[in-house]
Amino acid sequence: MAYKTLIVEIEDHIALIRLNRPDALNALNAELLGELADAVTQADANDKVRCIVLTGSEKAFAAGADIREMSTKSFVDVFSEDLFTRETEAILACRKPIIAAVSGYALGGGCELAMICDFIIAADTAKFGQPEINLGVVAGIGGTQRLTRFVGKSKSMDMHLTGRFMDAEEAERAGLVSRVVPAKKLMEEAMGAAQKIAEKSALTVKAVKESVNRSYETTLREGLLFERRMFNALFATEDQTEGMAAFVEKREPQFRDK
Ligand code: DAK
């Protein structure tokens, strides 16, 4: 499907989704989020895709929800529409890994979108922030909850209450991003990480994603039980037999997703 606000390319088992509203610094409007939910759902259903990379432009991953589009809405509008909920739920439902490759601004909904992804690789030019307070609102796509879990209460409060931006170095120190690389190397690094994931067993990749995400949803005791059961269950797969045999035989494993 051709999109108006996205560029999607699928190559070597990786779906690269690029947000493409350059005139608005990739601000998230209803059209873009609808298209993004569709693109992620399609990639999840496509057997050729094993990993997804989500990126923006050099200047902006996304500068937030589209303030112009939101500015005329009433309580009744946002409550009735349940603004952005369906779209973000669709992205969260994706069982394949999604890497956010962030260059430039990731603000408000843009920062929240990056946090919805499975991990964030940042260019050294990246700037993260939750400046909704300057607009008289709070974050609305999970920012108060997810940022707090990533960076802790103190820094999350600081970001949400002052609206200040955090640079890539601080974001890495705080645990928001997994790696920081020079801007020129961002896509090479993100695609390289996606390629590595694409070489693994797709079954095990899904198991890892479910298990790590479980740590956000449940108690430690329940999470540990879930992990143990997942570990046990993988012994029913050919890929576990192959992975361990390959190690013992000192060769590369040939995973078949079985
Ligand atoms: N929305 C709409 N347009 C935006 C935009 C945004 N968030 N950010 C930038 N633009 C547009 C600018 O209006 C400008 O358009 P023109 O005037 O050229 O037509 C163009 O992009 C270039 O921006 P600037 O000229 O401002 O560029 P600068 O380099 O000078 O500044 C900046 C870059 C990122 C610092 C600045 O644009 C900025 O402060 N942008 C707004 C950042 C922001 O406040 N983001 C948070 C938005 S609020 C909810 C769901 C979601 C949310 C809330 C509730 N529910 C489900 C309940 C989320 C809220 C948000 O994200």
Is 132 a residue of the active site? Answer: yes
**Residue 143 Cα, ligand 1 centroid: separation in angstroms?**
16
Å from CA of 69 to ligand 1 middle: 11
Distance of CA 212 to the CA centre of its chain: 14
State residue 183's pLDDT score: 98
Question: Quick one: average pLDDT of 107-123?
Answer: 98
Question: Is 70 found in the same domain as 47?
Answer: yes
Quick check: is 115 in a domain? yes
pLDDT score of 168 more than 80: yes
Question: What is the CATH classification number for the domain harbouring 71?
Answer: 3.90.226.10
When the pLDDT of each residue in the chain is averaged and rounded to a whole number, the result is: 97
Residue 102 belongs to what H/E stretch? Answer: strand 98-102
Integer angstrom CA distances of residue 242 from 205, 233, 238, 239: 15, 15, 6, 5
Query: Catalytic pick from 35, 87, 112, 172?
Result: 112
Q: Which two tokens stand for residue 229?
A: 């059961």
- On whether both 37 and 156 belong to a single domain, the answer is yes
Give the pLDDT mean for 204-230: 97
Written as one letter, the residue type at 6 is: L
| 114 and 19 in a common domain | yes
226 and 186 share one domain:
no
Q: For residue range 20-78, what is the model confidence (pLDDT) as tens digits?
A: 999 999 999 999 999 999 999 999 999 999 999 999 999 999 999 999 999 999 999 99
| Residue 254 forms part of a structural domain | no
CB contact set of 197 (below 8 Å; sequence gap of 6+)? 50, 51, 97, 205
154 shares a domain with 131: yes
* Domain presence at residue 255: no
Active site residue 112: yes
Dump pLDDT digits (tens) for 3-24. 999 999 999 999 999 999 999 9
Structural domain range at position 89: 6-198
The answer to whether the predicted template modeling score (pTM) of the entire model surpasses 0.95 is yes
Q: How far is the centre of ligand 1, averaged over its atoms, from the C-alpha of 139 (Å)? A: 14
Q: Are residues 176 and 93 in the same domain?
A: yes
The answer to whether position 257 is within a domain reads no
**Which residue's CA is the nearest one to ligand 1's atom 28?**
25
